[in-house]
Amino acid sequence: MFDVTVLGSANLDLVASTSRLPHPGETVVGRRYREHAGGKGLNQAVAAARVGASVALVGAVGDDEAGRRLRRLAADEGIDVAGVEIVDGIPTGRAMITVDADGQNCIVVVPGANATVTADRSPAATVLLAQLEIPIAAVVRAFTAARAAGSMTVLNPAPAAPLPGELLAVTDLVVPNEHEAELLGGASALSGRVDVVVVTRGAAGVTVHDRGETWSEPAVAVTAVDTTGAGDAFCGVLAARLASGEGLSDAVRWAAAAGAHASTVAGAVPSLPTATQVRSLLGATR
């Protein structure tokens, strides 16, 4: 039995920096190239593991070097990767990102192996956390089984997609950012269908709709340099703290501090904090 099972994507991000984005049919010469681990599933699993939760990741990668790298990275974080299937004949998911000098970007995500994820290998956990970069049918199946087993189910509806009633019916907490909440019809519409709706609002903090009661958690004041990974830090740490038996408001406070920390460091995985780093941010502000 794990504290947290994360059902989700794992990608290799290929990032080219250029002075400007190319027009259709044009070639521009890049200034820099980097590769890093990504995918909301992998990021959120690492976030939960770094603050001390026992974590299993369920997903899929291709039988290729990228897939082996991602599995190894997760295992090195102490994550159980038995549920990360290695599929033949389909590449590991990739995000091909071009960033210009002003920080504007163009992104092509190729789901690859992520599109083949099923919930068949989801091990039991106190909290099951999923996002929508894998087939929604797998999330519905896993949440239905987790609910029947008495687990808590947490959905980060990213990227935003219409949520079938059968999924909302087996979701305990839904955690959209402001943009996703709006695309899903607004927090009040969602809160009529799921017990707890946690809307993350970047530097404006968090608003929680908990069974008819609404309250806010302010953001921790930090100097943000790159907010990539803030939402993933938030979701992974929220799941980890809820799994430890902590109440919702304390878990949200930890998650917000983790999101704030992530916004002070470039990249996603490198920006995810340890429990000590979260505690020192919380201690510094209260």
| Binding segment (CB under 6 A) for ligand ADP, from list 15-23, 26-34, 73-81, 256-264 | 256-264
Q: Does 260 bind ligand ADP (CB under 6 A)?
A: yes
Binding mask 195-234 for ligand ADP (x = CB under 6 A): -----xxxx-xx------------xx-x-x--x--xx--x
Closer Cβ to ligand ADP, 143 or 254, answer by number: 254
Backbone angles phi, psi at 184, to 5 degrees: -90, 10
Q: Does 259 bind ligand ADP (CB under 6 A)?
A: yes
Residue type, 207: T
The Cα 209–Cα 200 span in angstroms is: 12
Contact 128, 1 (CB under 8 A): no
Catalytic option among 64, 88, 232, 250: 232
Provide the token pair at 51.
């603050």
Closer Cβ to ligand ADP, 93 or 259, answer by number: 259
Q: Does 111 bind ligand ADP (CB under 6 A)?
A: no
- List the one residue out of 171, 179, 102 whose CA is nearest residue 143: 171
- List the one residue out of 235, 258, 208 whose CA is nearest residue 129: 235
Residues in contact with ligand ADP, total (CB under 6 A)? 19
Closer Cβ to ligand ADP, 259 or 267, answer by number: 259
| Binding segment (CB under 6 A) for ligand ADP, from list 22-30, 44-52, 134-142, 257-265 | 257-265
The Cα 274–Cα 52 span in angstroms is: 8
7 three-state secondary structure? strand
Residue type, 210: D
Question: 120 an active-site residue?
Answer: no
The Cα 281–Cα 28 span in angstroms is: 42
State the catalytic residues: 232
Q: Which residues bind ligand ADP (CB under 6 A)?
A: 177, 200-203, 205-206, 219-220, 222, 224, 227, 230-231, 234, 256, 259-260, 263
